[in-house]
């Protein structure tokens, strides 16, 4: 499946109890329903524990995000799955 990107404008994103507006792009990705990028991570000050990548916190509210799997991309753009 080919990926494509087209500008969509501002969109509210809710993670936990907090909703923030972000500039979003539509990107067709067969592996994921939602992909949150660097700007989202920076705006919400998302932090993960280096020893337990499922320990995710939004530092702007101190809220812990419930998750079971964290998927990252390495420097080459390849998917790295951390369980």
Q: Span 39-58, mean pLDDT?
A: 86
Query: Can you tell me whether residue 18 is helix, strand or coil?
Result: strand
DSSP category for residue 14: E
pLDDT recorded at residue 29? 63
CB 47 within 8 A of CB 34: no
Q: Span 30-47, mean pLDDT?
A: 78
Q: Span 61-71, mean pLDDT?
A: 82
User: Which residues are bridge partners to 70 per DSSP?
Assistant: 82
Q: In what order do the strands lie in the sheet with 56-58?
A: 46-48, 56-58, 63-65
């Amino acid at each position: 499946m080919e990926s494509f990107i087209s500008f969509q404008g501002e969109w509210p994103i809710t993670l936990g109890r907090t909703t923030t507006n972000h500039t979003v792009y539509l990107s067709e990705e067969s592996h994921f329903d939602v992909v949150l990028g660097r700007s989202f991570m920076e705006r919400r000050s998302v932090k993960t524990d280096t020893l337990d990548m499922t320990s995710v916190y939004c530092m702007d509210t101190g809220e812990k995000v419930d998750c079971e799997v964290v998927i990252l991309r390495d420097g080459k753009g390849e998917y790295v799955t951390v369980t």
